[in-house]
Structure 1
Amino acid sequence: MLSLEEISDRLEIQQLLVDYSSAIDQRRFDDLDRVFTPDAYIDYRVTGGIDGRFPEVKAWLKDVLPNFPAYSHMLGNFDIRIDGDTATARTICFNPMVFDSESKQILFVGIWYEDELLRTDPGWRMTRRVEVKCFDKLL
């Protein structure tokens, strides 16, 4: 049986994962400062992106994502494992992305987010995020 503290931690972590997607989808990249630790490692190479520390990746997102007219993230299968003040999460993401509004080509991306998290004074934060490919299909 889960304790109230573990239930609370799981809900906070799940909300953090949703906060990431909301920040990206609404193009509010500064909101990511409340998702990641300043030294977090992020790896988007499986979907053609970069890997590196949070400040570098955040700048890259601000530069690259405006090239896509529309995109969204839908998350599911939250598998959250808590061990004291650290945690891991594995979450599936369905991420359709419009390539260009003229041709209306859409890339359907399915990935797993594999995350490591740390309890900090302001709350849970991601210290590591790695994308693992499930599928992609251009229509």
Structure 2
Amino acid sequence: MGKDMSEQNAADRFAVQDVLLNYTCAVDERDMVQYRNCFADDVEVVGFGEEVFHGGDVWTEYVTEALKAYGPTQHMLGPMFAKIDGDVAHTRTDVQAHHYLIDAPKTTLTLWATYKSDMKKIDGEWKITRHELVSRGTRIQSDQ
């Protein structure tokens, strides 16, 4: 027997939230296989600098290289706002990302931002099809 709409909606909401939770956990744990699994093959990523990235492999390669500038990181997500329509979701999630700089271990960079992520259910799994970072501010602090 199939799930009624409210049960399916709740299941989809949890699954969509899990995509971004997996995303942040994978970044902080440097698990790039788990990270890549969050994205559709044809994902578009904007807001992480001037370049627009096309493709899950291209984006994951970029992030893998970018993370080499940082020691430990911690990405904390606020509650997700999601609009789900069948197999498509539009989400908005606030993030605070704390980064220790590898070349200056007593210096941290904190980013306050919003992730605007579009997702689609592909082969039964939610994947990010478009990911945008909207920066709200940054702070560099040294404990020296």
Q: How does the TM-score come out when normalised to structure 1?
A: 0.90
1:69 counterpart SS class: strand
Matches for 1:120-131 after TM superposition, within 5 Å: 120-131=122-133
In structure 2, the partner of 1:84 is: 86
Matches for 1:45-56 after TM superposition, within 5 Å: 45=48, 48=49, 50-53=51-54, 54-56=56-58
Alpha-carbon deviation of 1:70?
1.4
Matches for 1:26-37 after TM superposition, within 5 Å: 26-37=29-40
In structure 1, the partner of 2:72 is: 70
| Higher Cα radius of gyration | 2
Which region of structure 1 is more displaced relative to structure 2, 93-102 or 58-67?
A: 93-102
Asked whether the 8 Å contact 2:69–2:103 carries over to 1, the reply is no
Q: Tell me, which stretches of 5 or more residues in structure 2 are unaligned? A: none
Alpha-carbon deviation of 1:43?
1.8
Q: Which amino acid aligns with 1:109?
A: L
Q: Tell me, which stretches of 5 or more residues in structure 1 are unaligned? A: none
For the aligned residue pairs, the C-alpha RMSD in angstroms reads 1.6
Q: How does the TM-score come out when normalised to structure 2?
A: 0.87
Distance 2:11 2:135 in 1: 30
Q: 1:97 aligns with which of 84, 96, 99?
A: 99
2:3 pairs with 1:8: no
Report the CA distance shift for 1:107/1:49 in structure 2 as closer, same or farther (over 3 A). Answer: farther
1:72 counterpart SS class: strand
Alpha-carbon deviation of 1:121?
1.3
Q: 1:60 aligns with which of 50, 59, 62?
A: 62
Runs of 4+ in 1 over 3 A off after TM superposition: 100-103
